[in-house]
Structure 1
Amino acid sequence: MKRFDNKCVAILGGNAGIGLAAARMFAAEGAKLAITGRNSEKLRAVAEELDALCIRSDISDLAQTEAALSQIEDTLGGIDVLFVNAGVGGFAMVPDVTPEFWDQIHSVNLRGAFFAIQKALPLMGDGGSIVITGSIGSTAAVPGNVAYAAAKAGLRAMARIVGKELLPRRIRVNMVSPGPTDTEIFKRDASPEEIQGMRDMLSSVVPIGRMGTSEEVARTVLFLASAEASFINGVDLCVDGGCIELG
């Protein structure tokens, strides 16, 4: 029997990177999938590849999130595993941070994630699992990362409280915090030379000597979502090649 046979798994932010890697692994483990994202073209390709319910939805827009969750309920009947992976990055030094920039980062990474979880809870059965993508940026003092770090630190605090409040329902809430990971985010609008330069720079700060892969992070997501992690709740598990632990 596969780990997620007959389980309904909803991935918010699943059309690329870690979310897509997790979607493929959940599908291979027997899950019925619902995936949201902002890129319609990629969502169509994922729907065809994985036979998944794919919904265009921006997590920063609460009305879109509610509509997506309603569609998931109508189609799949409910949610056993919720993976909240949608997120955006952005760098600005403290003097350059504008209210608009701050709100852009927080509306997705913190506000959007919280209300998505809140609205999904009525769809979840007791004994389910929530996994949230955090970041080692929540504890690493990286110059230029103040808005993102604050959002992810808030997300970490929120996850612990939600996990405590959901104890009567036996819904476990855990976080996966990646370190430098080779995803599409840092490759946008960059030349091959710039991409390789970024890889070299990021690899140099990882004690293990390289960037992580989306699949390495996704395997951790599946573990925390599964019955194998039945005694793990409220953890923020760093998947970072030793950056926090050894740095």
Structure 2
Amino acid sequence: MSSYQDKRVVITGGTSGIGLATARALVAGGARVLVTGRTPSSLEKARTALGPGAIVEASDAVADIDTLVGRAEQELGAVDLLVLNAGGTAASTVDDTTEALYDNLFELNTKAPFFTLQKFLPLIPAGGSVVLTTSVSNTKGIATTGVYSATKAALRSMTRTFARELVDRGIRVNAVSPGPIDTGILERTMPVEAAREFLEQIKATNPMRRFGEPEEVAKAILFLGFDATYTTGTELVVDGGASDL
């Protein structure tokens, strides 16, 4: 029997990339999974990829949290693992950052995970766990990522604080910090040629000379979520050695 059999899992941002890869592994292992997404195309893609073993829910950050919690309680009853993976990115220098961009990224990447965890807590039993998706940019000075990096640094700090606050309830809280992962987001958000050049630059400077795959981050999430039973408050970096080598 799989270690995920009948586990109850909610993954925000679970309809593409790392979130979808995590959901696939869980469904294959017999878990009951609820994933969220924002666009009709990603929702449909997830339904096709995950099949009847998953619940696919449209959810848009802070505005839909109460609805999401209600659906999770109705469908799952309780939540053994909450994966706070939803987020967004936008490139801007300090000169051209607008208040709208700043507010939007902090709402999506920091405020939404904070209040999603808060409202899900009554559904997470002792022995349950939470995994937040941060980024290696939270400790590196990468041009044009000032706001994005700040949102992810806030998540790293929140991980420690939540872990301390919830340890006596038997709930573990950890973070996974992906480096360059081939999720397709660059191709969707940048001109094709610019994306190609950027990808080649990243590969050339990575010790492993490649991008990671979403499935490789999913393995780290599942390790933190279920197997790392003596681990809380930590951040597991999955970046091909780029941060340390």
- Bin for the TM-score computed over the shorter chain: over 0.9
Matched, 1:222 2:222: yes
TM-score (norm 2): 0.95
Letter in 1 for 2:57: I
TM-score (norm 1): 0.94
Deviation for aligned residue 1:49: 3.5
1:181 is aligned to: 181
Unaligned runs of 5+ in 1: none
Letter in 2 for 1:208: M
Distance in 1 (CA, whole Å) between partners of 2:146 and 2:23 is: 30
Quick check: 1:106–1:151 contact (8 Å CA) kept in 2? yes
Letter in 1 for 2:164: K
Distance in 1 (CA, whole Å) between partners of 2:223 and 2:234 is: 12
* Cα 1:9/1:107, change in 2 over 3 Å: same
- Aligned pair count reads 243
Quick check: 2:176–2:236 contact (8 Å CA) kept in 1? yes
How many percent identity over aligned positions?
39
Deviation for aligned residue 1:189: 5.3
Letter in 2 for 1:230: T
1:41 is aligned to: 41
Show CA shifts across 1:55-96 (max 9, x none).
Answer: 10011xx23111011111111112110001001011111111
Q: Secondary structure, in 3 states, of the residue corresponding to 2:105?
A: helix
* Cα 1:134/1:189, change in 2 over 3 Å: closer
Deviation for aligned residue 1:193: 4.2
Unaligned runs of 5+ in 2: none
2:32 is aligned to: 32
1:53 is aligned to: 55
Distance in 2 (CA, whole Å) between partners of 1:189 and 1:147 is: 17
Distance in 2 (CA, whole Å) between partners of 1:45 and 1:92 is: 30
Quick check: 1:139–1:153 contact (8 Å CA) kept in 2? yes
Quick check: 1:15–1:39 contact (8 Å CA) kept in 2? no
Distance in 1 (CA, whole Å) between partners of 2:241 and 2:155 is: 22
2:106 is aligned to: 106
2:232 is aligned to: 233
Q: Secondary structure, in 3 states, of the residue corresponding to 1:96?
A: coil
Letter in 1 for 2:43: L
Letter in 2 for 1:237: L
Distance in 2 (CA, whole Å) between partners of 1:13 and 1:92 is: 23
Deviation for aligned residue 1:104: 1.1
Letter in 2 for 1:235: T
Matched, 1:2 2:2: yes
1:20 is aligned to: 20
Quick check: 2:16–2:46 contact (8 Å CA) kept in 1? no
Quick check: 1:16–1:184 contact (8 Å CA) kept in 2? no
Quick check: 1:11–1:84 contact (8 Å CA) kept in 2? yes
Quick check: 1:69–1:120 contact (8 Å CA) kept in 2? yes
Deviation for aligned residue 1:195: 3.9
